[in-house]
Amino acid sequence: MKYNAILVVSFGGPESRDDVIPFLENVLRGRSVPRERMLTVAEHYYHFGGRSPINQQTRELIASLEAKLAQNGPKLPVYWGNRNWHPLLPDALRKMKQDGVRRALAFVTSAYSSYSGCRQYREDIARAQSEIGSDAPEIHKLRAFFNHPGFIEPTVERVQEALQAVPAESRRNIQVIYTAHSIPLSMANTCDYVRQLEDVRQLVSIRLGVSNDALVYQSRSGAPGQPWLEPDILDYLRKVKAGNLASAVVLAPIGFISDHMEVLYDLDVEARQLCDSLALPMVRAKTVGVHPKFVAMIRELIEERVTPGAERRALGSLGPRADLCVEDCCPAPPRPQGRPGAR
């Protein structure tokens, strides 16, 4: 198909203290999450002056992608729309319509398949199209990229850098702890999220020659009685210390592509404070961010859709994800869901 533009779709985040509560109210609209929980998450943002880094990181990613497309093609304009904060998706689609864009490819800043990481973004796009009207741009989402070499190879490099940063006296038995956002079991049971994370864990550890590793979850929220994916990162770190499972730990946030609020607060603040109290040396690996291989991967995903017969690269056991989801793929979990998503 012929495409006129690229749309980068992200979660969005507040950029000032005044933005924090309206942003969280957007995130939580229609969900049964106690206001006390929302105010607790708000404190995470206030710890950093009320500004989430995610929007600036998205700007940097877009600038890198624009430079890559200008250099190597296809020469397509890049637009940006967020789920929960400005620039919002309806505004992005409205601008695209004004500019004469009829059909665009969407890159969503989520590597994995789940309701919140894939299907919900498709619903967000469809809702924005409905708001614009019958002549809204047609949007086709690029495939999930968790096992693409352009995601795995930069992740390996980031974790390797972190391993090298562990103090020499603590290197005798380093454990790499891979982290991802926890989701309700009702959501996890209807998608491949955990299988995909396990595949990435294995792909990265094999390339690093690491055998002492674990996959854990962070940023859990929702009703206390609702089961979510475990183990929680903080509980697991206590287990590592109590069981003498490692001389040091490297936390590798493979569930995220940028160092946004959940990485900065949940790992760099909470996990760091716990590790310090446990006298457990800890280094946190960077996310892929604007690594050149990752930016090149986005261009490659675009080329797949505009070039007939283009190679669809993937590593591991699960193969390349389909471009189009089946009708019942990754359904929404039953309410109440309660996921504030503190980015």
Q: What is the 3-state secondary structure (H, E, C) of the chain?
A: CCCCEEEEEECCCCECHHHHHHHHHHHHCCCCCCHHHHHHHHHHHHCCCCECCHHHHHHHHHHHHHHHHHHHCCCCCEEEEECCCCCEHHHHHHHHHHCCCCEEEEEECCCCCCHHHHHHHHHHHHHHHHHHCCCCCEEEECCCCCCCHHHHHHHHHHHHHHHHHCCHHHHHHEEEEEEEECCEHHHHCCCCHHHHHHHHHHHHHHHHCCCCEEEEEECCCCCCCCCECCCEHHHHHHHHHHCCCCCEEEEECCCCCCCCHHHHHHHHHHHHHHHHHHCCCEEECCCCCCCHHHHHHHHHHHHHHHCCCCCCCCCCCCCCCCCCCCCCCCCCCCCCCCCCCCC
pLDDT for 72? 97
pLDDT for 202? 98
pLDDT for 247? 98
pLDDT for 339? 44
Residue 340, pLDDT > 80, answer no
pLDDT band for position 29 (cuts 50, 70, 90): confident
pLDDT for 237? 98
pLDDT for 335? 64
pLDDT for 149? 98
Please compute the mean of the pLDDT values over residues 230-256 and round it to a whole number: 98
Residue 16, pLDDT > 50, answer yes
Please compute the mean of the pLDDT values over residues 64-79 and round it to a whole number: 98
Residue 278, pLDDT > 60, answer yes
pLDDT for 338? 43
Structure confidence by residue, pLDDT tens digits, 197-228: 999 999 999 999 999 999 999 998 777 788 99
pLDDT band for position 33 (cuts 50, 70, 90): confident
Structure confidence by residue, pLDDT tens digits, 282-338: 999 999 999 999 999 999 999 999 999 999 999 999 999 999 888 788 988 876 544
Residue 275, pLDDT > 70, answer yes
Structure confidence by residue, pLDDT tens digits, 90-112: 999 999 999 999 999 999 999 99
pTM, entire model:
0.94
Structure confidence by residue, pLDDT tens digits, 128-182: 999 999 899 999 999 999 999 999 999 999 999 999 999 999 999 999 999 999 9
CA distances from 259 to 10, 55, 188, 193, 292 (A): 13, 11, 24, 20, 16
Residue 86, pLDDT > 50, answer yes
Residue 54, pLDDT > 90, answer yes
> In the predicted model, what is the mean pLDDT of the chain?
94
Residue 342, pLDDT > 80, answer no
pLDDT for 334? 73
